[in-house]
């Protein structure tokens, strides 16, 4: 199947999901996030800065999701699940 | 017309189900801002409107000749919008042309409806209505077939049993459209009720999938 290029929204969702999954560990390691979202380090840093500016992530060092970030992630997952069930593809 | 009350009840329930579905269908467009998902809420909105018009047209307070035509064409466009969504869902970019096309189509629908209500509909006979009923239903069936193929392809790619419900819903909707076609050609009571029942079943499946997607307890737990 043809893989579509990820758009900004999808990348945001992937990064927030990765941060959420890594939140259980004592310290969130950037390399683990990078592996999960499959992005070059410099681009990942830029996206995380954007997420901090948007108020989805607390700060660039602690990498903790804010309430707004969690809310976005919830809506994002639900919509993705809905599109999957509807038989529609969103940039994979 | 026979079975008016039964028909009105099912049309009203179908319209309500469609309007509830619009609430869910608009979410992908609201979240992603991609025009290609606009066809989903538009499709179910038009479908709901067509069932509402249909219910009105069968009641004794409204003129069937006028509203019958409206519901027929609105329904055709509803399936067109749904099929367009599935067609454009695989495109990479958010095509600006699509947005203009949708607006253009909406304008055309509006002009056609105004013409139907004010000028053309009083001049058409029931035989002409029957002919266009067959044409619109055949077109709708082609659109549904396209959606079924697309959704089944997606299901095979996902290999998740949860993704089978939607193609199943569209297959049931297809049978409903086919039964309605048999009814208008053959005047079969069985086909008439089968058409209404299958259609309602299909819509309820869509509603179930929507509720399951948005209110599944395993999803969205980020706390």
What distance in Å separates the CA atoms of residue B127 and residue B48, rounded to the nearest whole number?
A: 26
The alpha-carbon radius of gyration of chain A (Å, integer) is: 13
User: What is the dihedral sign for C-alpha B55, B58, B60, B63?
Assistant: positive
Minimal-distance CA residue of chain B relative to A84: B163
CA distances from B191 to B59, B136, B177, B196 (A): 21, 17, 10, 9
Q: What is the predicted pLDDT for the residue at A2?
A: 46
The length of chain B in residues reads 223
Residue A42 lies in a domain: yes
Q: Is A76 on the interface with B (CB under 8 A)?
A: yes
In a domain, A40, yes or no: yes
Tokens found for residue A3:
């893989």
A6 neighbors A89 (Cβ within 8 angstroms)? no
ipTM passes above 0.90: no
Q: Residue holding tokens 């989903």?
A: B40
Contact A88 B24 (CB under 8 A): no
Q: What's the predicted TM-score (pTM) here?
A: 0.83
List the single residue in B31, B86, B223 with the smallest CB-CB distance to A88.
B86
Distances in Å between the alpha carbon of A87 and those of B37, B70, B107, B206? 12, 30, 29, 12
CATH of the domain at A29: 1.10.10.10
Q: Is A60 inside a domain boundary? A: yes
Looking at the domain assignment, is residue A92 inside a domain? no
**DSSP annotation string for A16-70:** HHHHHHHTTSSS--HHHHHHHHT--HHHHHHHHHHHHHHTSBS-TTT--B-HHHH
Q: Is residue A91 part of a domain?
A: no
Nearest to B173 by CA among B141, B205, B199: B199
CB contacts of A66 in chain B (<8 Å) are none
- Looking at the DSSP bridge assignments, the partners of residue A57 are A65
**In this complex, do A81 and B216 lie within 8 Å of one another by their Cβ atoms?**
yes
CA distance B181 to B148: 19
- Mutate which of B149, B173, B220 to disrupt the A interface (most A C-beta within 10 Å)? B220
For residue A24, what are the domain limits? 8-85
For residues B159 and A20, give the distance between their C-alpha atoms in angstroms, rounded to a whole number.
26
Q: Say if A2 falls within a structural domain.
A: no
For residues B180 and B97, give the distance between their C-alpha atoms in angstroms, rounded to a whole number.
35
**Which residue's structure tokens are 């709708």?**
B140
Residues of chain A with confidence (pLDDT) below 70: 1-6, 26, 90-92
- Is residue A28 assigned to a domain? yes
Are B118 and B70 within 8 A, CB to CB?
no
Domain range annotation of chain B:
4-215
From chain B, which residues contact A within 8 Å (Cβ)?
24, 27-28, 31-33, 37, 40, 85-86, 89-90, 92, 147, 150-152, 154-155, 157-158, 160, 162-163, 165-167, 209-210, 212-214, 216, 219-223
Residues from chain A that touch B158, judged by Cβ atoms under 8 A, are 84
Residue A62: the pLDDT is: 79
How many domains would you assign to chain A? 1
CA distances from B139 to A12, B86, B116, B145 (A): 40, 16, 19, 10
β-sheet bridge partners, residue B19: none
Distance from CA of B179 to the nearest CA of A (A): 24
Stretches where chain B sits below pLDDT 50 are: none
Interface test with B, best of A6, A65, A77, A88 (most B CBs within 10 A): A88
The A residues from 29 to 68 touching B (CB cutoff 8 Å) are 65
> Is A1 a domain residue?
no
For residue B28, give the chain A residue with the closest CA.
Answer: A79
Query: What are the tens digits of pLDDT across the range B104-142?
Result: 777 787 777 777 766 766 666 777 778 888 999 999 999
């Amino acid at each position: 199947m043809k893989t579509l290029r990820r758009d900004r929204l999808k990348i945001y969702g992937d990064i927030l999901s990765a941060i959420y999954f890594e939140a259980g560990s004592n310290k969130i390691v950037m390399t683990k996030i990078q592996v999960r979202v499959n992005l070059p380090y410099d681009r990942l840093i830029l996206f995380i800065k954007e997420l901090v500016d948007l108020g989805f992530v607390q700060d660039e060092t602690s990498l903790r999701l804010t309430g707004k970030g969690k809310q976005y992630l919830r809506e994002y997952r639900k919509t993705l699940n809905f599109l999957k069930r509807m038989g529609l593809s969103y940039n994979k | 017309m026979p079975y008016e009350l039964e028909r009105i009840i099912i049309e009203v329930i179908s319209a309500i189900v469609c309007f509830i579905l619009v609430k869910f269908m608009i979410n992908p467009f609201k979240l992603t801002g991609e025009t290609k998902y606009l066809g989903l809420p538009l499709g179910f909105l038009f479908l709901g409107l067509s069932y509402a018009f249909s219910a009105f047209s069968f009641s004794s307070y409204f003129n069937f000749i006028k509203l019958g035509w409206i519901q027929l064409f609105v329904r055709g466009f509803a399936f067109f919008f749904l099929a367009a969504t599935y067609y454009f869902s695989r495109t990479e970019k958010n095509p600006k042309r699509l947005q203009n096309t949708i607006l253009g189509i909406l304008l055309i629908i509006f002009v056609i409806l105004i013409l139907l209500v004010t000028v053309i509909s009083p001049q058409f006979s029931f035989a002409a209505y029957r002919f266009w009923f067959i044409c619109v239903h055949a077109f709708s069936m082609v659109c549904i077939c396209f959606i079924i193929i697309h959704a089944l392809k997606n299901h095979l790619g996902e290999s998740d049993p949860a993704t089978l419900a939607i193609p199943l819903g569209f297959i049931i909707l297809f049978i409903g459209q086919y039964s309605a076609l048999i009814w208008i050609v053959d005047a079969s009571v069985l086909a008439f009720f089968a058409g209404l029942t299958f259609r309602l079943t299909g819509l309820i499946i869509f509603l179930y999938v929507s509720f399951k997607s948005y209110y599944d307890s395993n999803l969205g737990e980020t706390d």
